Structure 1
């Protein structure tokens, strides 16, 4: 089978022929139809992600496809089932083996592309806003990186939860994508001063930050008393230093959120969240934004689109 493999952190990943895997105990074998790309894939290429697998490995954290084989001790999902799985690796290939207990049955109305774009982005935003920040109707939510993979879902989910949503992104085109996802107010990170723009709107109660760097600092200064700041990632490349005295004076909380980590210590948080999210999808309340769909042989082009910030929402690679 074909797989997009990384053999060294000093050389590019390449598409190559490898042996088709067989599922081990507790695993299912899937014929992969689609794989969603994530910013973490870019970090894995350089060996900088917290869960980078040992070399060599196949990139691709989340997949959708059809169950073709069951490993020892696995009773389901049944062969032929359409599923999505967060595997952490192995998705950019024609076949893969993943833990059976992570497989989620897909609604009949959900395409493989939507499914591959769904779990990490929507799951991150829902757990962050609902479980961690306890976002309430009527509160004001500031979303940084609002046209990106996770940011756009935060706009969408924040609006569904009854918040007033301020979307911050670079350029008119990306801001229009955020507006279409439900943003009430727009801030252009290229030309506007985030702190002043938010203060003019009365300040913010929750900050959703996958960017870090200077945008974190500006957003923190726009916070109301008892605001909550969600640190989702550091796409800017800069991990901000947090002045604890500012947190004290304004009673601000900074909350870290690593969605995949919950699978190791409180998996029920993820399970409950995904149940809610798939219900919302089935009801037509969520609509994944996929800016690019590419074939497996162009997987590197998809990663380049993300690294150069030329994509919005999600980039999906298909195998069919």
Structure 2
């Protein structure tokens, strides 16, 4: 089978399309013939050895896949050859066939494309865990979403609206603001590209505060980090929750006096660890997502697809923070 492999630490240009032996399903496992693989920011980091997990090389990036069951291992009764499925693999998705634990697969609903299916789990499961378990988002709350036109940003807008919040989307361009509005954002903020000096940081904080209203934000969803974090926290409301989701703009350092003055919480969001530690709660969240998807309240926005051999281009676009919505690699027809 073909696989897009990382053979040495580096950027997307270091990836090599090569041949590997077809995998075999062990007990409790399924081999999935991959049709589509979504690209996410961890794929940028993992090939540079900057992610929290460092797989042994050679390995394929790509954490979420959609495809067709190719074979099943001993003891697997819930899946049959030919079933359409989606699943999270952490890494290893940019291959023609991949082994997945049977319990970690979900049925791709009829009428949904493989590209849509590949784009669902990571962004929406991360976000529903963030908003409900860590942010305690409720009807009538006000939420600020940074990086709101990316995959997790658009998921946060949609889920925030589904849960009855007022959502303010912060983005870096008019095109991204339009995407955020289309996803349901009540208001948008255009911010400049970091780094910021002290005056620029204060000005951004005032932008956030103006859009958030006098009471400030109940929840701030931050998948960006960097110099955007402190202005965001300055706009948080009393006992608000600042959700730490990711750091494509760099790992921020916050003045902790702000948390005292606002009596607010800084909450880490690590969906992968949550799913491993509490699989039952995670499964309930994913069931909830499928219901919202069926009701039309959420919909993965696949804005660009790439041929298998061009998978590195998708990762490069993600690294440049140029993506709107989800980027998907079509591994097979």
State the partner residue of 1:5.
Answer: 5
Deviations 1:83-114 (A, max 9, x none): 10101112111111111110001211221110
| Alignment counterpart, residue 222 of structure 1, candidates 212, 235, 239 | 235
Q: How far apart are 1:6 and its partner, in Å?
A: 0.8
State the partner residue of 1:204.
Answer: 217
Return the alpha-carbon distance in structure 1 between the equivalents of residues 301 and 205 of structure 2: 28
- 2:129 partner SS: helix
Query: Does 2:204 correspond to 1:194?
Result: yes
Query: Does 2:27 correspond to 1:15?
Result: no
Task: Name the CA shift for 1:233/1:47 in 2 (closer, same or farther; >3 Å).
Answer: same
| Alignment counterpart, residue 295 of structure 1, candidates 307, 313, 333 | 307
Return the alpha-carbon distance in structure 2 between the equivalents of residues 176 and 211 of structure 1: 19
Return the alpha-carbon distance in structure 2 between the equivalents of residues 242 and 200 of structure 1: 21
Equivalenced residue count is: 319
User: Aligned ranges for residues 151-162 of structure 1 at < 5 Å?
Assistant: 151-162=153-164
Contact 2:208 2:231 in 1 (8 A): no
- 1:58 partner SS: coil
- 1:291 partner SS: strand
Return the alpha-carbon distance in structure 2 between the equivalents of residues 114 and 180 of structure 1: 17
Q: How far apart are 1:10 and its partner, in Å?
A: 4.3
Return the alpha-carbon distance in structure 2 between the equivalents of residues 123 and 10 of structure 1: 28
Q: How far apart are 1:312 and its partner, in Å?
A: 0.5
State the partner residue of 2:280.
Answer: 268
Contact 2:158 2:297 in 1 (8 A): no
- Coordinate RMSD, CA, aligned: 1.4
| Alignment counterpart, residue 84 of structure 2, candidates 82, 85, 90 | 82
Return the alpha-carbon distance in structure 2 between the equivalents of residues 245 and 294 of structure 1: 46
* TM-score, normalised via structure 1 length: 0.96
Contact 2:239 2:265 in 1 (8 A): yes
Return the alpha-carbon distance in structure 1 between the equivalents of residues 259 and 315 of structure 2: 36
Q: How far apart are 1:242 and its partner, in Å?
A: 2.7
Return the alpha-carbon distance in structure 2 between the equivalents of residues 239 and 308 of structure 1: 17
- 1:300 partner SS: helix
Contact 1:168 1:187 in 2 (8 A): yes
- 2:9 partner SS: coil
Moved more, 141-150 or 239-248: 239-248
Q: How far apart are 1:80 and its partner, in Å?
A: 1.5
State the partner residue of 2:148.
Answer: 146
- 2:232 partner SS: helix
Query: Does 2:82 correspond to 1:70?
Result: no
Q: How far apart are 1:263 and its partner, in Å?
A: 2.6
User: Aligned ranges for residues 74-153 of structure 1 at < 5 Å?
Assistant: 74-153=76-155
Return the alpha-carbon distance in structure 2 between the equivalents of residues 263 and 55 of structure 1: 25
Contact 1:77 1:103 in 2 (8 A): no
State the partner residue of 1:250.
Answer: 262
Return the alpha-carbon distance in structure 2 between the equivalents of residues 198 and 169 of structure 1: 12
* TM-score, normalised via structure 2 length: 0.93
Q: How far apart are 1:284 and its partner, in Å?
A: 1.6
